[in-house]
Structure 1
Amino acid sequence: MVRRWVIVVLTALVASAGSVVAVTLGASPAAAAVEDDGAGCPVPGTGALTANPRLPDPFRKVDGTRITSKSDWRCRRAEIKELAERHIYGDKPAKPASVTGTVSSSGITVNVTQNGRTASFSAGVQLPSGTGPFPAVIVVGGFGADTATIRASGAAVITYDPLAVGREGTPRNNKQGAFYTIYGATSSTGLLAAWAWGASRIIDVVEQSGGSLLRADALGVTGCSRYGKGAFAVGAFDQRIALTMPIESGSAGVPILRGLPGEPGAQPLSSAYGEQPWLGDAFSAFTGSPNTLPVDMHEVVAMVAPRGLFIMENPHVDWLAARSGSVSALGGAEVYKALGAGDNITYWSDVADGTHCASRPEWRTPLQQNIQKFLLKTGNTAGTFRISSRKAGNLSEWRDWQTPTLSDGGPTTPPPTGGPTTPPPAGPGCTSTVSVNQWTGGFVATIRVAAGSQALNGWTVALTLASGATITSAWNANRTGNSGAVQFTNVAYNGSVAPGQSTEFGFQGTGVGSGLSPSCTAR
């Protein structure tokens, strides 16, 4: 029997089964240099919740206005993050006061201290052949992921046992594991957010290690089934993850929550909430009424944008809700498209084998391509949607909003606190300011380029690195040189900066990042 499948362009609805439409999409930015680059954005309360059977508009802010520029997405994402924590996951705390640990060729240790409480856990490491430093993929839970292909593609595998951080089989009022040792056994945060917090602490340690073995700027995450739910949460809530790859995540994972009650055989919300304390305690109010949620999982998909996202789903097992998953991916892809990064998302449910968490040949090539593109930076394959006709969702049935055309202008909201404070120049031209996060053996520099009274249509930033310092990676800019005197120029999507507005790029390096004095020239 011939399998039927659908390939869709992200601007289109799901086509009829068997049709083929070419996908032509755009740029591939790197991961952010920080866990949450919208931490300084104001996030108002939502007020009274009202029922809405359609998916919330990801472009509409809490105050009712819609975003108009790509740079507005940073603070809109912060709103979605807050809503998802408040109503679905529970709070994912920021980096604790102290995170220390070690990285070796066989493992990672993590030690955390916050408010006088301490906890420790560890993860395994398997290196690929060759000479490092290596990109790496965090494998949540250790099964269902094609680790052989990951390593053969040139990435290390970090085997993360999330149960050490948030244990399953515990009641909600007595949660156990490293997260709950720090934040209390009665914390209202669910296991998925706790697992995401643990993965972020692993990334902290990799960053602090200086990049001699594993590259902090080239990290991915994957996992299957309940660990696919966890991998999805890890990538959504930590912007340092360059590539997120959830596998067959089911209810409480990628699929839209509003779609689950109407999808035959899908795990009900009450079951997903009650099976394990995966979701935050507050979600109990929505298990019978998901239409009153002010946020849904297509917006959590959008939280990953514009970073790499490869969603793998199984249409043969009704419990896994692949139809709702395809709607979620299509909805989130509208944000990718609006940001000019539509080719950074891939969705694939066109598989022959119905076995849960199997290593599938259909996913092997796109897995290699995504690792090459987002972790190794050696490929540029466009994202593809291959939706099985068995579970093909229709986004038009779920939305009453349209995707806006976002301008390339600078931010319309204030930058986060703690960053550069130098005002833009009064006249034409541009200025550049820098903030540096230094650790032993390495650093990350974030540079803000600000326009004066006239718009920028291109910019160049020059600076001189300290003796012995070397750039290992950069994002949101092209660069010339890795040491000494170096230059950065804008990429296609951030060269246009409106008068009085700004854009940012960054780079990671080894050595010392102090003494940087960037100078900006308008082009």
Structure 2
Amino acid sequence: MPGSRIRPALVLLMATLLAVTGMVTAASGAAAAVEDDGADCPVSLPGSFPSTAKLPDPFKKIDGTRITSKSDWRCRREEIRKLAERTIYGQKPAKPATVTGTVSATNITVNVSENGRSASFSAGVQLPSGTGPFPAVFVVGGFGADTATIRASGAAVISYDPLAVGKEGTPRNNKQGAFYSIYGSSSSTGLLAAWAWGVSRIIDVLERSGGQVLKADALGVTGCSRYGKSAFAIGVLDQRIALTMPIESGTAGVPALRAIPGESGSQGLSNAYGEQPWFGDAFSAYTGNPAGLPVDTHELVGMVAPRGLFIMENPHIDWLAARSGSVAALAGAEVYQALGAGGNITYWSDVQDGTHCASRPEWRTPLQQNIQKFLLKTGSAPGVFRISAKKAGNLAEWRDWTTPTLTDGPGTTTPTTPTTPTTPTTPSGGACTAAVSVNQWTGGFVTTIRVTAGAAPITGWTVAADLPTGAAITSAWNAGRSGDTGAVRFTNTGFNGALAAGQSTEFGYQGTGTGTGTTATCITG
């Protein structure tokens, strides 16, 4: 029947392999991603959910226990997925019975059949110079990250028209497009999940093509504004996307749904729900009561982990809710940190040009670095947080949970809330330096500290920072810390301790009070 989640035997076999081994191994020996690697996890959703004004604990399972190992995250992620489908997106069906198509240097065609219904759509392709096969970035609706930079970096551009899959301007009881031709015009699934389904079907075709033109295992997605909402949903709902890059996504995108009503000038939840059927129909119950949601967008950020995520926001347009976006990014980064992948997320709202969907010079270098790291597999630059003082959220106001230290092996669940200890790596090797940069606003600040190795490589570092009187840290990323005020020692994480001679890495923290005047010293050996 339309909307059923019947999964092909191949997908079930792959899920079984994942349950046993934690990965599917391709012929090349690399881990092959699947659309939803938690599909085999048993999830039973309750009929109702407790209300909370704070962001839900991403590490707390539906049964009330907290995960304790990194392997536990796989099935916890599936819980979050189903909660998000139930309340925010509507259901994104699994791969249909038949998906066929073609891939050329200029075009991709997709033909889908399910339960006696069929639909077709296509996408354009622009290749970079050089010899393929190439990694590729889906550019949703023609608005996304700088396509010239994408191609110059060695990745192809796939021009995806989401309106062919789900049209805007339609009533909720008569939705149109390829998705709704298959699953019915009255489907309760919103456009964002439908658009994500369309990209997933293109990836199916790329996988079947044998990778002669485009690499199915090196795919990114980007989009701006409404298509930034789409890019985010695509990365959240398909784990074959290696790099997700939403831009100025606004309400229904990255910004925390609970925070939006309190952010002056931002697009309200009811307004966004009524503007277009982006949300699933069930979200109507939460437009005036986001505290009743069992999930929020910080957990969707966490669903992308440990894959690459580069969030770009515009703090100059209130409508875009960049403050709520920073809250979701900071909270979601805690999932990255717990999984040992803190260097895989970048957030950047510290930009000068306020034009909507502008191509900004501040984003060019991190765009190149993310493509190199996650698509070309030639880079290792760590992610950074550059939060504009104009729209900096305070994570401490939005959470009452701490980030656990997850073990590498199988875990057990516990109903208690763990603390957040850090295990520093003993520094060794040559000297290092620490450079401090502070974005200050009335009552708060974000500090970024760049650690640079000297003339010899180092295998670990500690930064001793002296915070000004009255300054207090509320959250930090890419480093462990010994305290929140006064003299604080920051230690490297597992992914950013080893630096070659002259190489740099960055960590940061958000705080209240005044950060200007902070001094820092890097210590090794």
| TM-score grouping bracket, smaller chain normalisation | 0.7 to 0.9
1:102 alignment partner in structure 2? 102
Distance 1:380 1:250 in 2: 29
Q: Quick one: structure 1 residues 249 and 262, their matched pair in 2 at CA, closer, same or farther if it must change by over 3 Å?
A: same
Note the C-alpha offset of 1:411: 6.4
1:189 alignment partner in structure 2? 189
SS in 1 for 2:65: coil
- Pair 1:43-2:38 in alignment: no
- Pair 1:318-2:326 in alignment: no
2:146 alignment partner in structure 1? 146
1:378 alignment partner in structure 2? 378
SS in 1 for 2:157: strand
Residue 255 of structure 1 aligns with an amino acid whose one-letter code is P
Distance 1:335 1:368 in 2: 24
Distance 1:411 1:221 in 2: 33
1:255 alignment partner in structure 2? 255
1:505 alignment partner in structure 2? none
1:499 alignment partner in structure 2? none
SS in 2 for 1:111: strand
Distance 1:32 1:46 in 2: 33
1:213 alignment partner in structure 2? 213
Deviations 1:36-59 (A, max 9, x none): 000000111133222200000000
Distance 1:95 1:49 in 2: 29
The answer to whether the Cα contact below 8 Å between 1:31 and 1:240 also exists between their aligned partners in 2 is no
SS in 2 for 1:57: coil
Residue 311 of structure 1 aligns with an amino acid whose one-letter code is I
1:487 alignment partner in structure 2? none
Residue 97 of structure 2 aligns with an amino acid whose one-letter code is A
Compute the RMSD of aligned alpha carbons. Answer: 1.4
Distance 1:96 1:31 in 2: 24
Residue 65 of structure 2 aligns with an amino acid whose one-letter code is T
Alignment of structure 1 residues 15-414 onto 2, 5 Å: 33-410=33-410
TM-score (norm 1): 0.73
Note the C-alpha offset of 1:31: 7.7
Residues matched between the structures, number: 387
SS in 1 for 2:173: coil
2:506 alignment partner in structure 1? none
Residue 253 of structure 2 aligns with an amino acid whose one-letter code is G
Distance 2:111 2:388 in 1: 44
1:430 alignment partner in structure 2? none
Note the C-alpha offset of 1:388: 0.2
Deviations 1:481-505 (A, max 9, x none): xxxxxxxxxxx99xxxxxxxxxxxx
Distance 2:308 2:338 in 1: 15
Residue 347 of structure 1 aligns with an amino acid whose one-letter code is Y
Gaps of 5+ in 2: 1-29, 414-493, 496-525
Gaps of 5+ in 1: 1-29, 414-491, 494-523
Residue 202 of structure 2 aligns with an amino acid whose one-letter code is I
Deviations 1:331-362 (A, max 9, x none): 00000000000000000000000000000000
The answer to whether the Cα contact below 8 Å between 2:67 and 2:411 also exists between their aligned partners in 1 is no
SS in 1 for 2:264: coil
Distance 1:301 1:377 in 2: 22
2:427 alignment partner in structure 1? none
Residue 252 of structure 2 aligns with an amino acid whose one-letter code is A
1:460 alignment partner in structure 2? none
The answer to whether the Cα contact below 8 Å between 2:256 and 2:327 also exists between their aligned partners in 1 is yes
SS in 2 for 1:223: strand
SS in 2 for 1:77: helix
TM-score (norm 2): 0.73
Residue 265 of structure 2 aligns with an amino acid whose one-letter code is G
The answer to whether the Cα contact below 8 Å between 1:36 and 1:237 also exists between their aligned partners in 2 is yes
Alignment of structure 1 residues 406-425 onto 2, 5 Å: 406-410=406-410
